[in-house]
Structure 1
Amino acid sequence: MFFPRARRRTSKFFHLSYHNPDNELYGHGPDDLQLVLLWIVIFTAMRVLVMEYLLDPIARYNGIRTRKGLVRFKEQAWLVMYCTCSWSLGMYIMYHSQFWFNLNGLWKDWPIRETTGLHKWYYIVQWAFYVQQIIVVNIEEKRKDYVQMFTHHIFTCALIFLSYGYYQMRVGTMILCIMDIVDIVLPSAKLFKYLGYTSACDFTSIIFAITWFVTRHVFYPMVIWSVYKHTPTTMVPGCHLNDGSVIPPSDPRFEEQGGNQLWSNILQSYINRDGPVCWSPALRHSFLFLLIALQLIICLWSITIAKIIWKVAIGENAEDARSGDEGGDTEDEIDMELANVTHPINGIKSSHDLPAIEEEVGVDALSYKCRKRTSSTRTTSRSSGISISGHGDKKELLGRIGCDKPV
């Protein structure tokens, strides 16, 4: 940015590549990977900044104090914020396209080697987000469905990578919109749960169950069916040259152009963006395999959701399927609660910002909410706002009030 002689190399990280000034459209190519890398870094930074400086104060203001509660709230709120933006933009792009409520339009005029700048930017940003999600699931505390989430993100990144290289951004955009809507509703239900809005949580959970079934088991299978049904007739078999001509499979040049080579065709925009792109039944079966594999993962989640709904229907308590087995609150969480104990004399809440009140009081006058401790090896110097002579050690103080052992 600051060294003009270096811009021919660094500009690829900051701008969309392969701009065509004649029609104001953008092509595909390997230089786009550098913009993906930049957005992985941007999302990593944005996630930290938004969670720590925006969502953390909001969570604390609404009464969330435990470490686990703060982490869960910030993770889900960040997901809602991003997916709301990405889903809205994706729906806007689809609404102004020829495949809006027209599955056959997904495959017309293929291969489309150039697209609008907005559509290309949306696809690259989505690609970077899901790559960054692979990093996130390994940073967060492991959940019960870690394997499913990790595998889901791997499949999603693979589909985006392959569809972008094979000029199939339209079907990729539709699938991303189908997936993103659920990632708005479910985290919203969790946020209502963390904030204590039970009725809103229950209502949003119902909306989630309906949305999950409609999008994952109706709309998404319709896309798979369209790949199976429409592509053999709408997408012209053969090798499509850059000048618009097509070499049919019956022509001996079809094999010479690599018509039956799987990877060289799928990765054509990365290898030779001006070369021929071929379509054959083998490629169709490969995309069907990946899409169906993703559907199988979705079915595993659907079984878990069905179990939760059944527990609710028979009156049992249902837990978040993604909650990890972290056990009880840690000592950090207990310290945080002790730092907000109400003073028994004047009724104020103590905190680190308030000066310590030194006053002789009877032990019987103290009122602490004792919670189960999972660790007692670490000592802290955090003040509870009450100073009792001879009882500076927290463990000794807890012993005097009967909380020296786990309840």
Structure 2
Amino acid sequence: MDKETAVPSQAELNVYVSSPSGSRAKETTFREWVVNNQIGTHTPPPRPATAASTASEDNSHRPSLVTGISLTILAMLLALHNLYPSLRPYTQPFFELSYYDPATNQYVQGWDDVYFVVSAALVLTAIRAIAIEWIIQPMARHAGLGRKGSIRLAEQGWQVMYYSFVWATGLYLWKNSYYWFDFSAIWDEWPARPLSGLMKWYLLVELAFLIQSIFIIHVEEKRKDHYQMFAHHVITSTLLTSAYIYGFYNVSNVVLCLMDIVDFLLPAAKILKYLKYQNACNVGFGIFMSTWFMTRHVLYNMLWWSIYTNVPDKMAYGCYSSATTKMISTTASADLFGPFRSFDEPICMSPTIKFIFLSFLLSIQVLSIVWFTMIVRVAYTTITTGAAEDSRSDDEDEAEVDTEATPNGTVRLAAKDGVSVPPVAVDTAPGLDRRRSNGSASVRARGRGRVPFDQSDRKALLGRIGCDKPT
């Protein structure tokens, strides 16, 4: 067979093959290394794939390297904390909330809180990997999903686990507060610094999760909304940090509650889609859309307007003592970063500070509008045509293409969703690399190298948003 017609180009197939004689493998980037070792099992050396070996590899769940690194760092800190009492003043902030006042049974802020945020991010990273790899993914495989589908379901399952728990915690704090659905009362006790232990833990864990999410979106495959999501995490983490330093605990609690509720409703609907509960998925997606609109575009804007109108009625412009919370000057200081340098410096409120915080909140609202526009477009397309393409993600539900060797030396590309692809001959001559996964090569159609599937036969996929078919 003519090599020029038998061997597809790399751009067409986006697949790497290696020489049987063992030519040098493709260099792995740091991002690829983290992705391969964050939630997936350890990939054994390439070997001939058989039904028994594939089942054995699919059922082997070894600790991922990222999990091991996170737990190792935490174990070292814990060992130092317990074995060397003289080091406890330095290690204790990693494991306990700092700045406790026994007289009031409350806490205040301080720079030692940074250590707790770091340890919380490590713990969340380890819990995420363990939950995905050892708990949710095996359950998904037991439910009949394939390797890729089980990983997708596991990732959404972790989102449901985290956001349902943290949203319930935030809602409990909000429901038992004096500002429950009274936005003007949010500022009644400002600039008082003390806060409860649960409120402090809640805000620091949320900040740790945002920082960890910035790391996660940079090591996973980039989606179409990568930069919007990155901007959202950066803006939200900056806003949450600044609000914590300025003592805006209450408004942070309300904003997070309004944001977090939809972040577990969407993954829950997607899990129903992966498990083939079509009607339940449609209902879940409808609840998600309604909740998104009400919380992020109605209540959120009411809160924004309350900040705009109630300041300075509730928070008179000027500077306040961080110790006594009494106003010490009616002229707000131009130094916005005084509280960032030291919590002992006066804390001020001025029109400039007010509009800086409002601008951050407005930026989050703009991103929410962009995303909601995408969601509405997907829902409209699904209802009118019954075939919707996800406008937020490149490859969440992209057809996965596996290669099967045939006796005549060709490779058959077996795509999922019932798409048949003719066999393609692949030359295994030296000089080419083979990308392997669990002993077998796999390619994904994307970018310039898309395999030309028949669009009339290909299943329309929704991906990150919505369900496969309309009700």
TM-score, with structure 1 as normaliser: 0.79
Q: 2:134 aligns with which of 36, 53, 70?
A: 53
Q: 1:375 to 1:166 in 2, by over 3 A?
A: farther
| 1:299-355 Cα deviation digits (max 9, x unpaired) | 1111111111211231231234443247531437x79xx9xxxxxxxxxxxxxxxxx
Give the secondary-structure state (helix, strand or coil) at the position aligned to 1:239. Answer: strand
Counterparts of 1:262 and 1:382, CA distance in 2? 54
Counterparts of 1:316 and 1:49, CA distance in 2? 37
Partner of 2:299: 219
TM-fit CA distance, 1:207:
0.5
Q: 1:381 to 1:302 in 2, by over 3 A?
A: closer
Q: 1:41 aligns with which of 106, 122, 132?
A: 122
Q: Is 2:197 the partner of 1:117?
A: yes
Counterparts of 1:21 and 1:122, CA distance in 2? 20
Partner of 1:246: 327
TM-fit CA distance, 1:260:
2.1
Counterparts of 1:62 and 1:124, CA distance in 2? 36
Counterparts of 2:420 and 2:130, CA distance in 1? 32
Which amino acid is the alignment partner of residue 10 of structure 1? T
Q: 2:269 aligns with which of 189, 193, 208?
A: 189
TM-fit CA distance, 1:244:
3.3
Partner of 2:369: 299
TM-fit CA distance, 1:137:
0.9
Assess if the C-alpha contact under 8 Å between 1:331 and 1:374 holds in 2. Answer: no
TM-fit CA distance, 1:374:
9.5
How do residues 26-105 of structure 1 correspond to structure 2 at under 5 angstroms?
26-67=107-148, 69-105=149-185
Which amino acid is the alignment partner of residue 186 of structure 1? L
Counterparts of 1:4 and 1:195, CA distance in 2? 51
Assess if the C-alpha contact under 8 Å between 2:191 and 2:325 holds in 1. Answer: no
Which amino acid is the alignment partner of residue 222 of structure 1? M
Unaligned ranges ≥5, structure 2: 1-80, 407-417, 429-433, 442-452, 455-471
TM-fit CA distance, 1:271:
2.2
Counterparts of 1:379 and 1:301, CA distance in 2? 35
Q: 1:329 to 1:277 in 2, by over 3 A?
A: same
TM-fit CA distance, 1:63:
1.2
Q: CA RMSD in A?
A: 2.8
| 1:193-226 Cα deviation digits (max 9, x unpaired) | 1111100111101101101110111011111101
Partner of 1:178: 258
Q: 1:273 aligns with which of 336, 343, 360?
A: 343
Partner of 2:226: 146
Q: 1:7 aligns with which of 82, 88, 106?
A: 88
Which amino acid is the alignment partner of residue 238 of structure 2? A
Counterparts of 1:19 and 1:75, CA distance in 2? 36
Assess if the C-alpha contact under 8 Å between 1:329 and 1:374 holds in 2. Answer: no
Q: 2:385 aligns with which of 293, 315, 328?
A: 315
| 1:58-103 Cα deviation digits (max 9, x unpaired) | 1101111142x22211111100000000000000001111110110
Q: 1:234 aligns with which of 304, 314, 321?
A: 314
Assess if the C-alpha contact under 8 Å between 2:211 and 2:233 holds in 1. Answer: yes
Counterparts of 1:48 and 1:383, CA distance in 2? 23
Counterparts of 2:180 and 2:372, CA distance in 1? 27
TM-score, with structure 2 as normaliser: 0.68
Counterparts of 1:79 and 1:39, CA distance in 2? 17
Counterparts of 2:288 and 2:325, CA distance in 1? 45
Partner of 2:99: 18
Assess if the C-alpha contact under 8 Å between 1:73 and 1:194 holds in 2. Answer: yes
TM-fit CA distance, 1:169:
1.1
Unaligned ranges ≥5, structure 1: 339-368, 385-393, 395-405
Which amino acid is the alignment partner of residue 140 of structure 1? E
Higher relative contact order (CA 8 A, sep 6+): 2
Count of matched residue positions in the alignment of Structure 1 and Structure 2: 344
Q: 1:379 to 1:370 in 2, by over 3 A?
A: farther
TM-fit CA distance, 1:141:
1.3
Assess if the C-alpha contact under 8 Å between 1:192 and 1:201 holds in 2. Answer: yes
Assess if the C-alpha contact under 8 Å between 1:262 and 1:283 holds in 2. Answer: yes
Q: 1:194 to 1:177 in 2, by over 3 A?
A: same
Partner of 1:401: none
